[in-house]
Structure 1
């Protein structure tokens, strides 16, 4: 065998190992957000100044979620870890009207999921309870 053949042999082995590794690598699984919910306050309505629980249900714990209110990040929610297939945060609307609450994966390319909430009134916050008037 010539010196050139000896020099090329390790390259051929490396190429074969690399090709085999690519075939044996696990395939990425696409995970989805299955629901976004906003828990209404007493009386079932929504009011400004009251705080509500916003949750996203996800089919895997390994991701982080970001929540948006009308396309703006909700304060304090960047990269929330999904735990028990849910990511949640407290949301206090500051304006009346229609609010589109969206959950999306922080890193993945999966489709966001939204729900619409109508904030009809100014909330009356009594400390331990908040009523939408």
Structure 2
């Protein structure tokens, strides 16, 4: 009887060790956002201006759902997006206030942001005149 308990304990220990090894060796399946950037577009005077639209690019895990936020006031079109099979997507960002903005791409598994300084913009249609 003692011998069978020892065999059962050895089998249980071996099974637990094998299970732990599988968990540790498994690839990281967590989805994530790896980066966010804001293209400067066609600004006259440099930088970014209010009431002018710029392209935000988000990179991360393929098919990850991402929400976009701005620490100041701005609009996004669209504000929620999927990174698709290539792990990248774009949105249009239009700041509506001057100053420092943190454009954040957020998912359930983390976020990234880009810091952008916004001046007063005059939207000329094909370009943005930025002052201040």
Asked whether 1:40 is paired with 2:28, we answer: no
Let me know the Cα RMSD of the aligned residues.
2.5
The alpha carbon displacement at 1:71 in A equals 7.5
Higher mean C-alpha deviation, range 80-89 or range 93-102? 80-89
Superposition map of 1:7-86 within 5 A: 29-41=29-41, 42=43, 43-58=45-60, 60-70=61-71, 74-83=75-84, 84-86=86-88
- Secondary structure of 1:61's counterpart equals coil
More strand as a share of residues: 2
Moved >2 Å (runs of 4+): 41-44, 71-79
State the distance in 2 between where 1:47 and 1:64 align.
28
Determine helix, strand or coil for the equivalent of 1:113: strand
CA contact (8 A) 2:49 2:120 kept: yes
Q: Return the TM-score normalized by structure 1.
A: 0.66
Normalized against structure 2, the TM-score is what? Answer: 0.67
Which sections of structure 2, spanning at least 5 residues, go unmatched?
1-21
| Partner-residue secondary structure (3-state), 1:124 | strand
Alpha carbons of structure 1 residues 77 and 36: separation in structure 2 relative to 1, 3 Å: same
Name 2:106's counterpart in structure 1.
Answer: 104
